[in-house]
Structure 1
Amino acid sequence: MMPRLRTLLSVFVAAGLAYPAVAPATLDPVPATDPGDATPSCPDKPCYAVGRTTGYQAKVGTNRGLYTVQRDGVLVSWTIKLSKPGDRQIDFFNKSLGGEAQAAISVLRMGNHLHARQVAVGETQKLTPYFGQTVEFALQRTIPVKKGWVIGLTVPTWAPGLAAGLGNDTSWRASRPKGSCDDSQTQTALAANQIGNFYCLYRTARIMYSARVISTP
């Protein structure tokens, strides 16, 4: 059984119950592969979900910077690998985290001392119809990106796209201030042009998202 590690519970809520694609072009996936071969946790017990925050994957194994834009370009689509929570788990998250599962891709310009400005955010997508699938969302309006910016995921409610129980060398950061890493109820999802504090680092877990960027020639 997956351990209820503090590093996990401090970032995502655990449901402790009894329980449109883009045509290929010159594309630079971010990361360079699909969302990964890890499996999001639900409907296992506990079932984990990212909730009410903006996050980005800081490290996957020995790889850092997988979600850092390598060249100036345009963000055209994003992908998320979703688990398939059960009805009682869905009801728990809906009631605890403000409603139906939703998420949007976002672009962060990193600053000093773990501060970052959310330069842009895509359209918010309802995730419920895609539970148990890997889905790619084409952006209605593409987002210009620059080398060195970071691709993140903004979750205003909750998203069951989290693989847990991985190695201690895999981690992600959330836009939560110091002393609030255990607080999954307060809304910390960033809006466009908002500055956030990414003080909270959560090990042994991966948010299962990726993005497609068309590089500027």
Structure 2
Amino acid sequence: MLRLRTLLAVFVGAGLALPAVAPATLDPIPTLDPGDATPSCPDKPCYALGRTTGYQAKVGTNRGLYTVQKDGTLVSWSVKLSKPTDKQIDFFDKSLGGESQAAIAVLRMGNKLHARLVAQGEVQKLTPYFGQTVEFALQKPIPVKKGYVIGLTVPTWAPALAAGLGNDTSWRASRKKGTCDDSQTQTAQAVNQVGQYYCLYRTARIVYSARIISTP
């Protein structure tokens, strides 16, 4: 009996010596609630993202809100959409290449405002969800690494832009110097393509988010 107790004590001691394993967590990006950030349409002017890949650079004093904090797997994303009028929808459809669409994008940042689009979710049609916040589960979850940035690719247009915010709130688009006022030229990135994010747009916020399951 004494020997059995001794062995049990050894096993328990060995168990206590094992390293602790952190559990997987479901992490929202960003952690900051959008608050009163409401996309502008049908107000006039009606703002929308057009034919680009973009990411939110800053919200107030907060930077890096869309930067992945831990290795994990991107499993879903959501976007808050305004409800443009039929006339506004027709204008954007004709001006920006067709029906409203978007996809979640994963960026690896480089030097001098360059970034590589390392992965992208399935392109989703947004028109049926105008006036709502909609969440899309990815058919193929995307592995992500700490330091990656989560953005939004818009091959046509998306009414997901809140305007008239503070001058300390801004987002960047995959457009080169001298093209910041051109929303009709296609600048949405393709997977593995490197883009330059020169154009910074102040007083506006892209109202999107994502969910990541961290790697234990």
Confirm or deny a common fold (TM above 0.5): yes
2:27 and 2:211 in contact (8 A); partners too:
yes
Q: Which residue of 2 aligns with 1:22?
A: none
What displacement does 1:38 show? 1.0
Q: 1:159 to 1:60 in 2, by over 3 A?
A: same
Q: Which residue of 2 aligns with 1:212?
A: 211
Deviation string 1:75-108 (CA, Å, 9 cap, x unpaired) is 0000100000000000000000000000000000
Q: Which residue of 2 aligns with 1:29?
A: 28
Q: Which residue of 2 aligns with 1:170?
A: 169
SS across alignment from 2:122: coil
Q: Which residue of 2 aligns with 1:157?
A: 156
1:52 and 1:188 in contact (8 A); partners too:
yes
> 1:191 aligned to 2:190?
yes
SS across alignment from 1:172: strand
Equivalent positions of 1:47-58 (< 5 A) are 47-58=46-57
Q: Which residue of 2 aligns with 1:182?
A: 181
2:66 maps to amino acid = Y
1:50 maps to amino acid = L
What displacement does 1:58 show? 0.1
Q: Which residue of 2 aligns with 1:72?
A: 71
Equivalent positions of 1:90-129 (< 5 A) are 90-129=89-128
> 1:38 aligned to 2:37?
yes
SS across alignment from 2:192: coil
Distance 1:214 1:35 in 2: 21
Q: Which residue of 1 aligns with 2:199?
A: 200
Report the structure number with the largest CA radius of gyration.
2
1:36 and 1:208 in contact (8 A); partners too:
no
Q: Give me the TM-score of the superposition, normalised by structure 2.
A: 0.88
What displacement does 1:35 show? 4.3
SS across alignment from 2:74: strand
Count of aligned residue pairs for this structure pair:
193
1:144 maps to amino acid = P
Deviation string 1:45-77 (CA, Å, 9 cap, x unpaired) is 110000000000000001000000000000000
Distance 2:28 2:183 in 1: 30
SS across alignment from 1:193: coil
Distance 1:181 1:106 in 2: 20
1:35 and 1:79 in contact (8 A); partners too:
no
Distance 2:33 2:58 in 1: 15
1:104 maps to amino acid = A
1:82 and 1:133 in contact (8 A); partners too:
yes
Deviation string 1:177-215 (CA, Å, 9 cap, x unpaired) is 111111111000001110000000000000000000100
Kindly indicate which of the two structures has a greater share of residues assigned to helix: 2
What displacement does 1:37 show? 2.8
SS across alignment from 2:27: strand
1:133 maps to amino acid = Q
Distance 2:149 2:35 in 1: 18
Q: Give me the TM-score of the superposition, normalised by structure 1.
A: 0.87
Distance 1:71 1:26 in 2: 10
1:114 and 1:199 in contact (8 A); partners too:
yes
Q: Which residue of 2 aligns with 1:84?
A: 83
Distance 2:155 2:120 in 1: 12
